[in-house]
Amino acid sequence: LAMGALAKAVALAPDSWIPGSTPDPLIRRRSGHTGKPMSRLDGPLKVAGQARFAAEIALPGMAYAALAHATIAKGRITALDTAAAEAAPGVVLVMTYRNAPRLQRPPVFMSSAKAAWGDDLPILQDDQVRWNGQPIAVVVAETQEQADHAASLVTAIYAEEPAATAFAEAKSKGSSPGSFMMQPLHNESGDAEKALAAAHFRVDATYTTPRHNHNAIELHGLTCAWEADGTLRIHDASQMVAHEAWTLARIFGLAEEKVVVTSPFVGGGFGGKGLWQHQVLAAAAAKLAERPVRLLLPREGVYRLVGGRAQTEQRVALGADANGRLTALIHTGFTAKPPASAMPEPFIVPTRSAYAAGAMLLDVQVVEVDGLSNTFMRAPGEAVGTFAVECAIDELAEVAGIDPIELRIRNEPDKDPVSGLPFSGRNLVEAYRLGAERFGWDRRSPAPRSRREGEWWVGMGCATGTYPYYRMPGGAARITLTAEGATVDIAAHEMGMGTATAATQVAADRLGLDPAAITFNYGDSTLPGTVMAGGSQQTASIGASVVAAHRALVAELVKLAGNDSPIAGAKPDELSCRDAGLCRADNEAAYESYASILARANRPSITVEATPSMPFEMMHWSMHSHSAMFAEVRVNAVTGEIRVSRFLGSFDCGRILNSKTAASQFRGGIIMGLGLALMEETQFDARTGRIMNPSLAEYHLPVHLDVPDIEVIWTDIPDPHTPMGARGIGEIGITGTGAAVANAVYNAVGKRVRDLPITLDKLL
Ligand code: MOS
């Protein structure tokens, strides 16, 4: 997810953790809570049904909302009949563009990125239809059933305009250069086409990936109310509470502090739980109805309203010398994007740092389609980009007669091929070595269609996964210390991935406290900080903020401790924390407890707030998480049915902060990658641009029986240039997985499927 999504201006703070200078002392400590498989702190609440999600919160006098959606791709509403809906039982209000409160357009976070999550289109402000599925009416009623029924009675007549709804057709009309995070999606060095033509070994193929929809288990929904003092309070499922509050304040013309967004529990985000029209519509309806409103989108509503991963068509052409060294690497292609949408699928991003190649040409062209905005979806760019490139590497390995792992090792870059920066940490070869040994790669036959067990062809494949390290300026964290423990406040997010647990472990080690003595408060826009759960960077971002606050705390404690303390006069860098107190780093016996310092200063508590440095580390190093993915598949010789029978992910993501929650993150990413490889596909009616399979019955995702035992291992080599030595783990699991499966399918049956998903019909 994007750096481009950051919204609030973050002032350049005094350096508190200087990227790349002294490694965080925690990196050197192996004995604490960090790294341990601590169970999720929110787990018991969820298991007991006591965690209340956004659309489970009941407010007094609350009414229920439902949406009616446009059924054309583009045009104008010429007649909108709401009379039947208004007369239906229990209906409180029908809101359309005619009576909706006048709203500002969603503000532009950064001019080139537009609104980060989707688009900046006006919301129920005019008679224009801009995509098939756009909300045209909000019905508010006494019960959900009444609202749903009444919404079904809203009818519209349209004046349709010609629309580009099919990717292929739109592409034939031309394209324009893409950019991502304010950088052109284009890189070039040398004459790659010429090098390709002259290469000893060559592959040149086109790979296509379909539209994908977000399918978090928790549907998108919120409960909201306008309070007596004019505060708009939103209980939401959000990956960005601070940004959401900021944006809603501008849309409704309110002071920033008049919007409060809370989101303590999120049932899956994956890039989809941003700000979409439904939050704005619910708040507007609540204002008009003068009642609290709950709007929970049904699954179909999520498909109509919440953007997904864009289609791509990618060419990968590789040229190599007789030893398999790349002389040409071409990765170019097209992605679909509605005009108002924020982001093209940046599929070349992982390729920039993947391989040392003589000449390189990378390019993303944008094709404009009239449809629902596309958006971030777990490893946008990397998930589909690695599918194309890592399949092509496998194809080259076969042409060159070199083992695919060996081919990759021969092309390992010693510095970033595009930026020229050194890698902050890259142990991909080690990840391959560990993974290959564990997976039994030596049992793979290089010749496809050579292993059969009964009705099943068996194949093995591998691929490299990668995801960039990001750290967004996450703003401040606040620490309050008492004799009993500490409270850490930061407007961060827990979407089920274990962020709060890992943050608690790290804070406990940092403060020298038991995790039970730490209270980590998050998911509330009134807390300090602007951290966003995206780009696999939240934990690093929280970490940097906590490091900053902790240093401020230590400085404050030294001041309070005065001249009589064993730590008198020490600088923060010379101190460390143990046993609920401070000691000198070079002499642990020179120690004073927090309780003693506070008591002597006659203070019940101290509170500090501090902001970390900007993410300068990203300018000095090429920073990425890496993985080596291994798949074994079985393809039924009679039916073409594909079963993934084994999978192993070998990760190099810096230091792992919680081995239990990290393993789940890796597995979850891999499972999502299995869906990308074999199942997921949003299907459009090409005539109308309407999504035809807006349900889990027809949009297929892996279920338990589709998922084999997934083994995950990691190098656990700390990155010296990140807070806590950790790089991101949230998105990398999906990357490389599609290609590992596709390469295994090829090894099983000898057929290359370059068009996702790999369904059985494509093998027959
Ligand atoms: Mo993500 S696609 O950065 O939530």
Query: What's the pLDDT at 202?
Result: 98
Contact 235, 57 (CB under 8 A): yes
To test the pocket of ligand 1, the residue of 731, 734, 735 to mutate (highest count of ligand atoms within 8 Å of its CB) is 731
Among 532, 386, 556, smallest CA distance to 467 is for 386
Best CA proximity match to 332, nearest among 307, 355, 313, 345 = 313
CA of 229 to the centre of ligand 1 (A): 35
Contact indicator for 634, 707 with CB cutoff of 8 Å: no
The rounded distance, in Å, linking the Cα atoms of 120 and 102 is 15
List phi, psi (to 5°) of 308.
-135, -160
Note the pLDDT tens digit of each residue in 54-104.
999 999 999 999 999 999 999 999 999 999 999 999 999 999 999 999 999
Four-point Cα dihedral 492, 493, 494, 500, nearest 10: 0
**Can you tell me the distance from the alpha carbon of 561 to that of 564, in angstroms, rounded to the nearest whole number?**
7
CATH code of 13-48+472-614, in short, is 3.30.365.10
CA 220 to chain CA mean position, Å: 16
The residue written with tokens 């499922």 in the block is 237
> Cα of 378 to ligand 1 centre, how many Å?
5
Please give the Cα distance from 96 to 127 (Å, whole number). Answer: 9
637: which DSSP letter?
A: T
- Specify which residues 459 forms β-bridges with: 633
Q: For 544, phi and psi rounded to 5 degrees?
A: -65, -40
Alpha-carbon gap, residue 235 to 253, rounded angstroms: 20
pLDDT of residue 23: 52
Q: E strands along 145-244, which residues?
A: 155-160, 176-177, 179-180, 183-184, 186-189, 201-209, 221-226, 232-236
State in Å: Cα 1 to ligand 1 middle: 5
According to the CATH classification, is domain 54-162+219-266+273-305 in 3.90.1170.50?
yes
The residues pairing with 407 across neighbouring beta strands, listed in sequence order, are none
DSSP letters for 268-299 = --TT--S--HHHHHHHHHHHHHTS-EEEE--H
731 is catalytic: yes
Tokens of 645: 């029978």
At 150, give phi and psi (nearest 5°): -65, -40
Q: Which atom of ligand 1 is nearest to the CA of 1?
A: 3
Closest atom, ligand 1, to C-alpha of 535: 3
Q: What are the Cα distances from residue 553, in Å, to 239, 528, 575, 608?
A: 28, 16, 12, 6
Tell me whether domains 54-162+219-266+273-305 and 177-212+309-470+619-762 share a fold: no
Closest protein CA for atom 4 of ligand 1: 271
Measure 245 CA to ligand 1 centroid, in angstroms.
19
Binding-site residues, ligand 1, Cβ < 6 A: 1, 239, 269-271, 376-378, 380, 534-535
What's the gap in Å between 199 CA and the centre of ligand 1? 38
Residue of 306, 378, 729 with the most ligand 1 atoms within 8 Å of its CB, for mutation? 378
CA 194 from centroid of its chain's CA atoms: 37
Take residue 180 and report the two structure tokens written for it.
């991502």
Is residue 110 within 8 Å of 247, Cβ to Cβ? no
Name the average pLDDT for the chain.
93
Backbone φ, ψ for residue 459 (5° rounding): -140, 160
Amino acid at 425: G
Nearest atom within ligand 1 for CA of residue 270: 4
| Residue tagged active-site, from 382, 390, 680, 731 | 731
Right CATH for 177-212+309-470+619-762 from 3.40.630.30, 3.40.1260.10, 3.20.20.20, 3.30.365.10: 3.30.365.10
CA-CA distance, 219 to 237, in Å (whole number)?
9
**318, 393 in Cβ contact below 8 A?**
yes
- The length of the chain is 764
Residue pair 47/744 in contact by the 8 Å Cβ criterion: no
- Amino acid symbol at 443: R
Contact 215, 701 (CB under 8 A): yes
Which residues of the chain are modeled with pLDDT < 50? 1-22, 30, 109-115
The tokens for 178 are 């893409």
Residue ranges per structural domain of the chain: 13-48+472-614, 54-162+219-266+273-305, 177-212+309-470+619-762
How far apart CA 499 and CA 491 sit, in angstroms, is 12
pLDDT, tens digit (0-9, with 9 covering 90-100), for 633-673: 999 999 999 999 999 999 999 999 999 999 999 999 999 99
DSSP letters, 446-497, are SSSS--EETTEEEEEEEEEEEEE--------EEEEEESS-EEEE-----SSS
Q: What is the DSSP letter of 73?
A: S
Distance 273 CA to ligand 1 centre (A): 9
- Residue entry with tokens 């959000």: 238
Residue 645 and residue 631: Cα distance in Å, rounded? Answer: 8
How far is the centre of ligand 1, averaged over its atoms, from the C-alpha of 87 (Å)? 42
Number of neighbours of residue 658 by Cβ within 10 angstroms: 28
